[in-house]
Amino acid sequence: NAGVTQTPKFQVLKTGQSMTLQCAQDMNHNSMYWYRQDPGMGLRLIYYSASEGTTDKGEVPNGYNVSRLNKREFSLRLESAAPSQTSVYFCASSPSNTGELFFGEGSRLTVL
Amino acid sequence: SQKIEQNSEALNIQEGKTATLTCNYTNYSPAYLQWYRQDPGRGPVFLLLIRENEKEKRKERLKVTFDTTLKQSLFHITASQPADSATYLCALDMSNTNAGKSTFGDGTTLTVKP
């Protein structure tokens, strides 16, 4: 049972390049989330998807787009990467209405 | 907006003692509060959830309390072990219908010395 799987684990980009972070969960959860974690700022919600076919902005959505491809997969896209987007990105999923979040192992992104 | 403060960035204790971590919040009381453990280079792992109408929750050596008057949650690890060394995150959810839209604290790093 893999849980929440994120790819890639590490990525280095140049300013202005684009990339997509992939996330898949095999727990049949309805809700999926993308967080970023920066030193001194905790985990901050970028986007979430309460169910298949819906997406909504979180606390820090600027510079990102998401796609809920199906119930299993939720991708995060950076169209034009900026150094301020250097961070560790975590995907998470949750069964509806329980609050408990299951996190992936993170994707470490550096933008030069 | 909700602000969360977790006690000092680092907490060092001796093996066998009880570790107590604090999570304070401002503004409105959350519908529920969660505690997660995070090891270096790994994703957070869920430990316990406590709802606004609950005073205390236990799981094995872990205990969480929730005081909506003080706007504070305490997280206790009894009979601590070196394997308990990690960063512990507090997270608040404001609504029962928005599960997962959590606001996280910065975390407290616990080191248990043998």
For residue A106, what are its two tokens? 């993170």
For residue B81, what are its two tokens? 């072990």
No. of H helices and E strands in chain A? Answer: 0, 11
Residues of chain A contacting B46 with CB distance shorter than 8 Å: 100-102
Which of A43, A44, A46, A47 has the most B C-beta neighbours within 10 Å, making it the best mutation to test the interface with B?
Answer: A43
Q: Write down the pLDDT at residue A21.
A: 98
- Residue B40 sits at the chain A interface (C-beta within 8 Å): no
Q: Does the pLDDT value for residue B28 go beyond 60?
A: yes
pLDDT tens, B32-90? 889 999 999 999 999 999 988 898 999 999 999 999 889 999 999 999 999 999 999 99
Of A4, A33, A40, the CB nearest to B100: A33
> Contact at 8 Å (CB) between B43 and A105?
yes
- Specify the DSSP class assigned to residue B43: -
Gap from A39 CA to chain B (nearest CA, Å):
8
B30 — pLDDT class (breaks 50, 70, 90): confident
Q: Write down the pLDDT at residue A2.
A: 80
Grouped pLDDT means (10 residues each) for chain A, 112 residues: 92 97 96 92 91 91 96 97 97 83 96 96
The three-class DSSP label of residue B108 is strand
- Residue B55 sits at the chain A interface (C-beta within 8 Å): no
